[in-house]
Homo-oligomer: A and B are copies of this chain.
Amino acid sequence: NDSSIEKKDSVGIVNGLAWTEVGGETLSVEVNIMDGTGKLELTGNLGDVMKESAKAGYSFIRSNSYKFGIKSDFYKNYDLHIHIPEGAIPKDGPSAGITMATAMISALTGKPVKHDVAMTGEITLRGKVLPIGGLKEKTLAALRIGIKKVIIPFENKADYEELPDIVKNNIEFIFAKNMVDVLENALTKPFKPSLPVKKSGNNLLPLDNELYIKNDISNVTIAKL
């Protein structure tokens, strides 16, 4: 069922790969952003683990918004709605984590996502990409709907080696260690932060929103984005 494949690059819409009772499956993650009060709406027949995965990605973005040029107070002045269509199909598990995070970042920055890219991977609070299962079934589904590039966790490299030739010959694979790897390959334009970045000082608890900016700035290369 190919109904959810976009014909062109869109803002806030990302192709995901899922593994359901009926085998490998593609899904389309949609994110809309609206004036609001900071509500995070999650719909599309999502299980608890998938909802928690969305929240992990949301906190990752809140903690790193300045790196993406997103205003740090977005979480309280806008509502985000993450929806995964085909509401009749129950969906669960952590493997749509990077897909939902990418859709949120695209919607918040206005940068389109390549329509022929799909991805699968669990996300951590710090943006690491963790391995997933069912890679063969997922990539076969991606092949069927014309996906050209698939982003998978770096730690699934061994599973990649076992993929059928028809998949490896027709799809380009990206092995992602973290969300920077994912975004570089999924977005149509590179980031150029438009907001000044404050470095952490020596004080233990800085005022305002300096706290989370300081948190792990030591191991971030802003220019890389």
Residue positions of A touching B, CB distance < 8 A = 1, 3-4, 8, 10-13, 28, 30-36, 41, 43-45, 48-49, 52-53, 55-56, 59-60, 62-63, 69-76, 78-79, 81, 83, 85-88, 93-94, 97, 107-110, 122, 124-126, 128, 130-131, 155, 194, 200, 203-205, 208-209, 211-212, 214-216, 219
Contacts and interface: CB of A to CB of B under 8 A. Distances in A.
Nearest to A94: B87
A124 B78 contact: no
A85 B215 contact: no
A180 to B, nearest CB: 16
A192 to B, nearest CB: 9
Contacts of A126: 10, 13, 30, 32
Contacts of A204: 69-70, 109-110, 194
A86 B130 contact: yes
14 contacts: A30-B125, A33-B215, A34-B63, A36-B75, A36-B76, A41-B55, A44-B56, A52-B87, A53-B87, A56-B83, A69-B204, A85-B94, A86-B94, A107-B215
Main secondary structure of the interface of A (DSSP, over half): mixed
Report copies per complex: 6
A86 B4 CA distance: 28
Contact of A205 (B70, B122, B200): B70
B34 A55 contact: no
A75 B13 CA distance: 23
Nearest to A194: B204
Contacts of A10: 126, 216, 219
Contacts of A41: 55, 59
